[in-house]
Structure 1
Amino acid sequence: MSKRSPGAATALVLCVLLPILGACSGGAEAEAQKGGNAKGARGPSQVGFVTVTTTDVPLVTQLGGRTVAYETSEVRPQVNGIVQRRLFTEGSFVRQGQPLYQIDPSLYRAAVNEASATVASARAAADAAQARANRFRPLAQIEAVSQQEYTDAAAQARQARAAVAQNQAALETARINLRFATIRAPISGRIGRSLFTQGALVSANQVEPLAIIQRTDPIYVDIQQSSADLTALRRALAQGGVTPGSTQVRLLLEDGSDYGYTGTVQFSELQVNESTGTVTLRASFPNPQGTLLPGQFVQTRFTQAVTPNAILVPQNAVQRDIGGQAYVFIVGPNNKAIRREVKADRAQGNDWVITGGIRAGDKVITQGLANLRDGADIRPVPANTPQRIAPPPAGQGGGRGKAGGQSKGGGPA
């Protein structure tokens, strides 16, 4: 067997490898050309748009609040004595003037009788003094008695009449104290528990009340709003950027359900709470079923102002740059994407409230925003338009299948 030289062996290997490398290079170029053709065939990206219009957008504010009784009265004794009876059921509804407690009236009834007797005695003395003065008058005219005696008699008659009036006032005071022995409800409402029982000694100067009555229909809701937000609202109203809203208030209960009745804002405080930096707004609500109880935490929702001629844009259409500036893309001439900086004041539900940067009739792009650039070619369609995926032509599909078969066949080779 003859030996081959190293040069001949190298030449043989090159002859074998060159056709294979040429085939692989040709396949790569074909695949690149195919990808380029596919990319060019894809064309402009499809985007969805909405045509915006202007509308009046309410500034809906949701704030927390506490319920407060419409009227509150502490039942207190105005005389001293022992409580004989409690005349009401705890937790029941009482009416103004209804008896609640009975204090032992014995001393006050005796005081009335004493004052009554004193008045009768004073009236008798006054009658006698007046009769004496009447007798002295003609005698003084004929000088049967001195003028000084008649003057003294007339003065004594007037003093007697004054004593009658004084004792009459004392009698009225005694009667009032006797009436105060029966403690009555000062207002109509629901009364709480009794803090004193039968047999307790009460006095007019005691600290604790006997019971508390609260009127809860209607009922107040005290709403706390930041003074900074209120100042901004007043400035916007003064500049004409917004118009005043409604005074109607909706109420959300602690479980998130709607209260059902609509309330009305009555007034706002004229000072800021130094510890919280808030201003109190008071609203009034009907409460016929007694659903709301004093001290309950609730959420209020009301329209403080209305932004006229604003535009609502879906939140996903509004983007922000690194500086925080809001912007949107709109459909421009020749189906170009145009970037517009907008003034997005606040969110309203699932939309942004836009007050500048776009106009009614603009087509704002809301779908297909990924990698979208200013000036890019687009194919705009109305938002949420279903995409149609059609099968490729028969000839093209067969060619791809055939090419794929060759690729799979050539891969292992």
Structure 2
Amino acid sequence: MYLPHALRLPLGLLLSSSLLLGCGEQAMEQRPVSGPIHVDVLDLTPTTLRLTTELPGRITAFKQAEVRPQVTGILKSRLYKEGSQVEAGDVLYEIDSTTYQSNVNSAQAQLAKALTSEDATQKTALRYKELIRKKLASQQDYDDANALYKEAQAEVAIRQAELDYANIELSYTKIKAPISGQAGLSLVSEGSLLTSEQSSYLTTIIQTANVYVDMQQSSLAITKIKKEFAHFTDKNAEIPVTITLEDGSAYDETGHLEFSDTQVSGSTGTVTLRAIIPNPDNTLLAGMYVRAHISMPEARGYLVVPQSAVVRSQSGEPSVFVVNQDSNVEKKPVVLGNEVNNGWVVKEGLSSGEKVVISNILNMKNGVEVVVDSSTDSSVPALTSEE
């Protein structure tokens, strides 16, 4: 059959394409099936760790007192150096005491008058008592004299109380330190008028030898921590607390957990934890923000897997691949706990002796056959933390 010249070239290309396609299908049919995937595994064995929980914290003064005047008057002098250490009872300020000293003098005079009256009425009552015995006076006369004596005694008590109160007010003209500690900046100067009920304070005194670290934790997290503590043998063990400063450096001193609040904040849903930290060099200042690390009371054995061995679903659920006895891979969901260096503590989902895949993770799926090239003990130093 004769074909036009214009159709010869396309027909040749079509025949060539058919031949190539046939060869490609034959080559695909002859391609060898891929064999088992080579992996490295981690033999899970318990690692002894003393876990820590990290929380944001804020430094609070161990004791802090706001110094205020208790009487009204003109400030006469300031007797302390700002920023210095003061002892409880040291005089910090002195108010002009002229008026209060006058009140004391007046009260003393009133007391002396009352004592004189008491002495006179007592003698009169005794005299009438003797006259009654001799039947030279009536009972009514004695009763009246004795009543006057008792009134004089009451008057003495009143005048004594007034003198005591006047002395107390006079003593308040010397404003003393209520606690020992570091005195702060003075907010008043000589010549200022101070009042007994003023809301503003004169200065503050802070005890800094020890400080509090207040930490906020959710009520759910507190419940989990308490459950963890319930498994420890020593119920009275002191719980160590260390802190990291704002610049990332570790603070040298170690404190201990003091208590947790008994109420949950209605606005934030958190519970306050409080620790006491020694502060011998006054490095920690009230109001400073730190990172607190709460250690478990004792070390225990935990299963730890590398972070690179953990895969997550689209919803964020973690899981790992393990090799079973048939050399096939199984995907197991896990519950993760604390982060330990470059690993995760596995709280649920795995058991000791299982082989966790730590290489070729991208090619893993359920049922894949694997060949284990190497096996590593899970207690290698890279996965442990210092106790």
| Normalised-by-shorter TM-score class | 0.7 to 0.9
1:243 CA drift (Å): 10
Q: Which residue of 1 aligns with 2:174?
A: 182
- CA spacing shift, 1:332–1:151, aligned 2, 3 Å: closer
- Residue from 205, 214, 217 that aligns with 1:222: 214
Out of 242-251 and 214-223, give the one that drifted further.
Answer: 242-251
Higher RCO (CA-CA < 8 Å; seq separation 6+): 2
Which of 288-297 and 115-124 deviates more?
A: 115-124
Please say if residues 79 and 204 of structure 1, whose CA atoms lie closer than 8 Å, have aligned partners that are also in contact. Answer: yes
Is 1:345 the counterpart of 2:340 in the alignment?
no
**Structure 1 contact 329–337 (Cα < 8 Å) conserved:** no
Amino acid at match of 2:57: G
CA contact (8 A) 1:67 1:294 kept: yes
Query: What is the TM-score of this pair, normalised by structure 1?
Result: 0.75
Deviations 1:36-63 (A, max 9, x none): 7xx79x9755422222202455553211
Match of 1:272? 264
SS class of match (1:65): strand
Deviation string for 1:247-280 (max 9, x for gaps)?
2111111001111111222122222222222111
Rate the CA distance shift 1:64–1:182 in 2: closer, same or farther, 3 A.
Answer: same
Distance 1:348 1:108, change over 3 A: same
Amino acid of the structure 2 residue aligned with 1:294:
A
Which segment is superposed worse, 52-61 or 152-161? 52-61
What letter matches 2:180 in structure 1? S
Q: Does 1:51 align with 2:43?
A: yes
From 379, 382, 396, the equivalent of 2:375 is: 382
Alpha-carbon distance in structure 1 between the residues aligned to 2:279 and 2:228: 34
What whole-Å deviation, never above 9, does each CA across 1:347-405 have from its counterpart, x for those lacking one? 52321222444432333221233424534241422359xxxxxxxxxxxxxxxxxxxxx
Provide the rounded CA distance (Å) in 2 between the counterparts of 1:243 and 1:141: 81
2-side partners of 1:63 and 1:378: how far apart? 43
- Which residue identity is paired with 2:335? A
Query: Aligned equivalents of 1:195 and 1:324: distance in 2?
Result: 55
CA–CA distance in structure 1, aligned partners of residues 287 and 67 of structure 2: 20
Q: Which moved more, 1:57-66 or 1:122-131?
A: 57-66
**1:4-403 matched pairs, under 5 angstroms:** 45-55=37-47, 58-234=50-226, 247-303=239-295, 310-320=302-312, 326-333=318-325, 336-349=327-340, 350-372=342-364, 374-382=367-375
Moved more, 133-142 or 77-86: 133-142
- Give the CA deviation at 1:131: 1.2
What's the % identity of the aligned pairs?
A: 38
Residues 246 and 304 in structure 1, CA contact (< 8 A), matched pair in contact too:
no
Q: Tell me, what secondary structure is at the counterpart of 2:143?
A: helix
Distance, in Å, in 1 between the alignment partners of 2:314 and 2:151 is 97
The residue identity in structure 1 corresponding to 2:267 is: S
Change (3 A) 1:297 1:332: same
Distance 1:112 1:321 in 2: 83
CA contact (8 A) 1:74 1:213 kept: yes
**Which residue identity is paired with 2:268?**
T
Look up the SS of the partner of 2:124 in the other structure: helix
Counterpart residue number, 1:404: none
Deviation of 1:94 (Å) = 1.2
Cα 1:208–1:264 change in 2 (3 A) is same
User: Which amino acid is the alignment partner of residue 332 of structure 2?
Assistant: E
- Maintained 8 Å contact 1:366/1:383: no
Whether contact under 8 Å (2:336, 2:348) holds in the other structure is no
CA pair 102-161 structure 1, distance change in 2 beyond 3 A: same
Give the deviation of 1:300 after TM superposition: 0.7
Any conservation in 2 of the 1:100–1:183 contact (CA below 8 Å)? yes
Structure 2 unaligned segments of length 5 or more: list them: 3-15, 378-387
Shift of 1:330: 3.7
Counterpart amino acid of residue 208 in structure 1: S
Structure 2 CA distance, aligned partners of 1:64 and 1:348? 16
1:123 corresponds to which letter in structure 2? L
* CA deviation map 1:182-227 (0-9, x unaligned): 1111111111111111011111111211111111221111101122
Q: Give the number of aligned pairs.
A: 352
TM-score w.r.t. length of structure 2? 0.80
The code of the aligned residue for 1:339 comes to: E
Give unpaired runs (5+ residues) of structure 1. Answer: 1-5, 7-20, 385-413
More helix by share: 1
Q: Equivalent residue of 2:199, what SS?
A: coil
- State the Cα distance separating 1:140 from its structure 2 match: 1.4
> Measured at CA, do residues 357 and 266 of structure 1 come closer, stay the same or move farther in structure 2, by a change above 3 Å?
closer
Which residue identity is paired with 2:284?
L
The residue type equivalent to 1:346 in the other structure is G
Is 2:232–2:297's contact at 8 Å kept on the other side of the alignment? no
Which amino acid counterpart does residue 214 of structure 1 have in structure 2? Answer: I
Contact 2:38 2:370 in 1 (8 A): no
Distance 2:233 2:133 in 1: 91
